[in-house]
Amino acid sequence: MAGVILAAWFYFVGWVYSYFYFRFFHVDIFEIDMPVEFVVVQSTSPIIYTLRHYWYLLLIFVLLIIAILFLALRNKRSLAAPSRQLLTQHKRGVELALAATVALILYYGGLKVAKVAGTEQAQHVWSAEAPEIQFSFAKDEAELMASSRLGRANDAYELRYLFATKDFYYVFIAEKPRVKNYIGDGMVFKVRNDAIDSVWIRRRGGYADAP
Q: Report pLDDT digits (tens) over 71-122.
A: 666 655 554 455 555 555 556 666 677 777 777 878 888 888 899 999 988 8
E strand or H helix that includes residue 190: strand 188-192
Q: Are 168 and 190 in contact (CB under 8 A)?
A: yes
Residue 191 has φ and ψ, to the nearest 5°, of -110, 125
Kindly report the number of other CB atoms within 10 A of residue 196's CB atom: 18
Burial track 74-106 (b if 16+ CB lie within 10 A, e otherwise): eeeeeeeeeeeeeeeeeeeeeeeeeeeeeeeee
| % of the chain exceeding 90 in pLDDT | 10
36 pLDDT more than 80: yes
Kindly report the number of other CB atoms within 10 A of residue 130's CB atom: 17
Predicted TM-score (pTM) of the model is 0.72
Angle among Cα 164, 147, 138 to the nearest 5 degrees reads 50
**Which residue type does 69 have?**
L
Mean pLDDT of the chain: 78
E strand or H helix that includes residue 16: helix 2-24
Mean pLDDT of 66-70: 73
Comparison of pLDDT for 91 and 135, the residue scoring more: 135
How confident is the model at residue 186, as a pLDDT? Answer: 63
DSSP string, 93-134: HHHHHHHHHHHHHHHHHHHHHHHHHHHHHHHHHHHS-PPEEE
Mean pLDDT of 195-206: 77
3-state secondary structure of 50: helix
**Which residue type does 135 have?**
F
How confident is the model at residue 79, as a pLDDT? Answer: 47
Mean pLDDT of 20-32: 86
33 pLDDT more than 60: yes
209 pLDDT more than 60: no
195 pLDDT more than 70: yes
Q: Residue 125: pLDDT band by 50, 70, 90 thresholds?
A: confident
E strand or H helix that includes residue 81: helix 81-89
